[in-house]
Amino acid sequence: MKPVYCSKGHENPTGNRFCQQCGEPLPVPSPPAGGRSPVAVSVSPGTLLGERYRIVRQLGQGGFGRAYLAEDINRFEERCVLKEFAPQVRGTYALQKGKELFEREAGVLYKLQHRQIPRFREMFRANINSEGHLFLVQDFVEGETYRSLSANRRLKNLPFSEEEVIQLLLQLLPVLEYIHSLGVIHRDISPDNLMLRTSDSLPVLIDFGGVKEIEVEVESEFSGAGNPPTPGTRVGKAGYAPDEQMQIGLVYPHSDLYALAVTALVLLTGKPPQELRDSHALTWNWHQYISLSPAFSAVLNRMLAHRPGDRYPSAGAALAELQNVASRHSGSPPAPALAPVPPPAPTSQPPAGTTQTAQAVSPAPPTAVPAPPQPRRRSSQWVNFLLMFLIIAGMGGVGLLVGKMWPPHGGNSHEEINGKFSPEERQRKEALRERRRSLGVDFNFYVTLVDDVYYAKYPDQRGRTLSDDPADAGWRERWDSAAAESLQKLATLSAPARQKLGSYSKEDIARQKLEINRLHLSSRSLNDLTDAQFFRLFPEFKQEENLLDLPVGQVWQAIAAERVEAVKSGAALEVIKFAPGATGTSVRGRISPGDGKAYIAELAKDQLLQVKLDAGGAMRLSVYPPSGKKASLLEDSKQVSWSGRLPESGYYEFVVVAEDSEPVAFELSVQAK
């Protein structure tokens, strides 16, 4: 009988339900049920796919296919991992949607170029039993998972020490900082998904949650309108992922920090996370099992905060704090973080719309038990100083010379005010510094935002660097004025939204879309609600086509995040219902400048709809049909009435936003016959 392998490659006898080495549930074939179709037949060892990948064995199985260990015959039989797209969903549209998401995942993996992340090689198609299949190809990491390392240490009663775990976090936080800067969140950090690589004893981050996210998105879309995914399909492991991720599917960069801190505690104590946390009081009780230094405990406690806003805003902020802890332990600054690897020469075909540059790294022969991570030698302080000087000397921009930008460490960044400035200018800049700090706005983001606003006001100054010369005093004053105005505008945001400025990603937008779609609201309505406030604050960017690529686009995303919360709470969304036997109704409200509200009403195809907005001030009206396949009936229009036959059945959206300088009272009438 054939052996069964878990996703980590451990061999088990046929019939085992759990891996005898790591305890992971083993794949069990099951008959089709509940509208699902069975996963395609697994590929047999020895099969050659894509005319270059020879299958060695199956590594694991998930909702969207299997993973295989393979040999690349075009690269001296170098080992790699193939991930197959074989979703358990039925229907042509569902399969096409899954395929699109799978290809998107290939694009995400492709842009990750870091020596502590398995490199994406290519995506290819292959025919198996006359059926087309998609595969992702990644590097194979030779080594052992930290779960396995921890289990071996428990047998010897030798848990990881505080120094070892601090070193591990120092090596992993720069990896998280890197992926978060690209808008990628891992979602599934645990000892299972961290490997100690044999060749260099470095921790490697594996199994990103993207493919699992595909399963969640497709299941959400096809399990029934308005039904959120079941808890079992949430991305992340119970006990490791924070509550907001497991309960409602919300993920942020600090979600990875939370999971990393749980992983650290598991390695330190040798106990599963469920034994370290009181699920009723939502507090951690790991202190009774292990004693850590107060400084390191404080770092872990902040990473593990129940309220997302109480955690570190970024991996860089956590890294800066941990570096201070490490320096107290060793008496000297810690080793510098590993930088991302520059892409090498192309070797194979990239996913659609990209240029392939990834290249595999040959793994070293395995050893029985890899050694724990060891501190790396520090570079010469003079070399580091010279590199920093060259980097600073080469950086342009108004903000650099005006604010004296220092290495980014989130809230730990600081500004040094130039002594050459006049007392009046120094006082002005000190006031700006204190105002920024009181708002909790990241310094590096603040500088880039003000540069953005400054150049929008004075486009002729673009490309010109301000000096500390008295001749530039007037221009520096204009920059400070733009800074003061920007801070005043940022003060209108909530504290959590301000703290996240600089770390919003396009992934956040995709998640927000899913959240409001479940409430029968489209991204068009969210855009209307967000634009109303954003362009009231920053009207100079109305004609900007690539808004989200600019620093000021972070403010737009912050407002969008607040609007989503307002929609979910019911403050910005109301359902219009007709009384029994009635064909129409009216709703009334009062909206502040730049604010808005969305209404939804379930209507039928071919009904005659009449909409009218009566307002005591300037307002705009949008009317959107249920699906994005039909054109808007009205879109952010000054026209305040519409009538006509409805093109389809479903929930219609009505969005009103205020453009006046004063609060506006309004009445929205909806008639459907």
Q: d(Cα 318, Cα 256) in Å, to the nearest integer? A: 12
* Inter-helix orientation angle 506-517/553-569, to 10°: 20
Q: Are 71 and 77 within 8 A, CB to CB?
A: yes
Q: How far apart are CA 559 and CA 4, in angstroms?
A: 50
Which residues have C-beta within 8 Å of that of residue 14, sequence separation ≥ 6? 1, 2, 3, 4
Cβ burial, residue 86 (10 Å; 0-12/13-18/19+): buried
Query: Is 345:359 a contact under the CB 8 Å cutoff?
Result: yes
CB 456 within 8 A of CB 438: no
Whole-angstrom Cα distance, residue 450 to residue 188?
A: 36
Residue 258 structure tokens? 């939370």
The answer for residues whose C-beta is within 8 angstroms of residue 332's C-beta and 6 or more apart is 378
Residue position matching structure tokens 């071919």: 606
DSSP class of 534? H
- Report the C-alpha gap between 112 and 118 in whole angstroms: 9
For residue 651, the one-letter residue type is Y
For residue 352, CA distances in Å to 134, 208, 213, 559 come to 13, 20, 20, 33
Active-site residue, 188 included: yes
Q: Is 558 left (phi over 0), alpha (psi -120 to 50) or beta?
A: alpha
- Got the DSSP string for 400-468? HHHHT-----GGG------TTS-HHHHHHHHHHHHHHHHHT--HHHHHHHHHHHHHHH-GGGTTPPP-S
CA atoms within 13 A on the CB side of 105: 27
For 578-631, give the DSSP string: PPTT-SEEEEEEEE-TT-EEEEEEEE-TT-EEEEEEEESS-EEEEEE-SSTTSP
Find all residues with CB under 8 Å of 416, minimum gap 6, and list them.
404, 406
- Which residue in the list 188, 192, 442, 528 is annotated as catalytic? 188
Residues 6+ apart with CB under 8 A from 667: 586, 587, 588, 613, 614, 615
Q: Strand 650-658 and strand 619-624: pairing?
A: antiparallel
DSSP classification of residue 71:
E
Torsion of CA 465, 466, 467, 468, to 10 degrees: -160
Q: Which tokens go with 586?
A: 């009216």
| Spatial CA neighbour of 606 closest among 653, 649, 577 | 649
The answer to whether the beta carbons of residues 262 and 271 sit under 8 Å apart is: no
CA dist., res. 441 & res. 321, Å (int): 18
Please list the active-site residues. 188
